[in-house]
A = this chain, B = another copy of it.
Amino acid sequence: MSALDVGFPAHHPAPGLPTEVTVYEVGARDGLQAEKALVPTEAKLAFIRDLVDAGLPMVEATSFVSPRWIPQLADASDVVRSLAARGDDLTRHPVLVPNQRGLDRAREAGASAIAVFVSATDTFVARNLNMTRTQAIETAQQVVGEATAAGLHARGYVSMCFGDPWEGAVPPEQVATVTRQLIDAGCYEVSLGDTIGVGTPGHVGAVVAAHQDLGVGPGSLALHFHDTYGQALANVYAGLQAGVTTFDAAAGGIGGCPYAGSATGNLATEDLLWMLHGLGIDTGVDLAKVVRAGAAVTHLLGRPSPSRVVGALGLD
């Protein structure tokens, strides 16, 4: 008998929180790109199908990054074409595009929604993209401009929003300035990533407030936490209290950041759902189905899920 069978998580709403939240699933992209194992295209398509079946409204599909950088996602075009062929709504399956070449490939494959990413810090960009932060932002702005002009939806990611492994803590105003540029370029939403997982709840409030100061309200933001230091869910709770209603997570807690040397990956969708459902917040997602979808993938990856919920429910 699992805890789900005796009615857990019990519903106890907290005052002042949103009643509905969008869980934006990144396992098939941010998860798989950071895992060593190569997952067959068919298994990725099954994973995405299972996640949609579980009720997840947004399931990021892949990244059109260079296969030389990330061979795990070398099948990006095949994934998008197959999703289109089986009739999936591609606006629900954004694809990451790091540059103009990525956008060209994504459009060729038929993508309807893209995402771009920039870093809030200089060192990370210089070390990983071999360009300056200003150059990286200009590239993202051009890609977003062309994509939206062509009728595609565009999401922005800002990485290193709380800390940088070399620079330390990142000023919230610096993050908000980057977000503002992405919104101005045409992004409908910007996801703020704590790429190395060092942030704590008061920091979350400060970051959201700094955005408000530049006219970017919590409705235009998503929060993207990695559980590297165990802080992800407490930070989500602080984000909910600050009015944010979209949170990124990866089924099974797969992934991480191979560049930043972190031990633990994305916040697990299962752990996020446990808290949201316990708070009586509607997500439209079936937790047990996500557990099963994640289990199938972690099985392929050959390692146990770092999700606490998955471990506790004993389905791993």
Contacts and interface: CB of A to CB of B under 8 A. Distances in A.
Chain A contact residues, majority secondary structure: loop
B12 A202 contact: yes
28 contacts: A3-B163, A3-B165, A3-B198, A6-B168, A7-B169, A8-B168, A8-B169, A9-B198, A9-B199, A9-B229, A10-B198, A12-B206, A14-B238, A197-B308, A201-B275, A203-B278, A228-B308, A229-B274, A229-B308, A230-B309, A231-B275, A233-B233, A234-B234, A234-B237, A237-B237, A263-B312, A264-B308, A264-B311
A14 B205 contact: yes
A275 B234 contact: yes
A25 interface: no
A231 B234 CA distance: 8
Nearest to A9: B200
Contacts of A275: 200-201, 230-231, 234
Nearest to A276: B200
Contacts of A168: 6-8, 10
Nearest to A8: B198
Contact of A307 (B230, B309, B314): B230
A206 B233 CA distance: 19
Copies in the complex: 2
A12 to B, nearest CB: 4
A279 interface: yes
A55 interface: no
A178 interface: no
A201 B237 contact: yes
A229 B4 CA distance: 12
A228 B264 CA distance: 17
B198 A230 contact: no
A113 interface: no
A220 interface: no
A197 B308 CA distance: 10
> For A196, A201, A229, A274, which residue has the most chain B Cβ atoms within 10 angstroms?
A229
A52 to B, nearest CB: 24
